[in-house]
Amino acid sequence: MLSSRSQYLKALNIPEYLYATATKSHLNAQPTAIKCLVIEAENVNSICSVSPAQEFLYKMLSAIGLQKNDILCINANTNNFVQEVSKYKTQAILLLDEQFSLDADDVFNIHHPGEILKNEQLKREAWEVLKQVKICLK
């Protein structure tokens, strides 16, 4: 037997899938837990794929006690940035692009590893940021 709602949708020739209700599991979806979320904009030297920039990022983060499985790297743009961040429960967030900003104690802006590899003078500034990240992770 069809529910009243299904009967109305059928009578109006409206496919029921267009008005599907959220299931309880969708409503109770928990954010993914990760120690350190690293966010970059689309970049030729992406840290989201195997590259010298990714390898250098892992070296920098291992210097403050993080392992690869503690780190998640994602690409985002200004349109979906907040939505992407909300999918994760993190201890620290590293933003690798100046176009992104969040006002929170666990969010840090740092130069992209690809930029640091090109300009060694940025290493000192990056290390100062990483020391703050390490404090946040305790």
pLDDT digits (tens, 9 = 90+) for 9-21: 778 777 666 666 5
What is the Rg, in whole angstroms, of the alpha carbon atoms belonging to the chain?
21
Residue with the bigger pLDDT between 24 and 58: it is 58
Instruction: Please write down the HEC assignment for all residues of 59-86.
Output: HHHHCCCCCHHHEEEEECCCCCHHHHHC
Q: What mean pLDDT is predicted for residues 112-123?
A: 95
Helix/strand/coil percentages in the chain, nearest 5: 40, 20, 40
Per the structure block, which two tokens stand in for 105?
């104690």
Angstrom distance (rounded) from CA 103 to CA 16: 42
User: At residue 7, does pLDDT exceed 70?
Assistant: yes
Q: How far, in Å, are 1, 13, 77, 118 from residue 21 at the CA level?
A: 19, 18, 29, 51
- Superfamily of domain 31-137 in the CATH hierarchy: Uracil-DNA glycosylase-like domain (3.40.470.10)
pTM over 0.85, yes/no: no
Angstrom distance (rounded) from CA 124 to CA 16: 58
Residues in the chain: 138
Domain boundaries, the chain: 31-137
Angstrom distance (rounded) from CA 6 to CA 117: 60
pLDDT at 42: 83
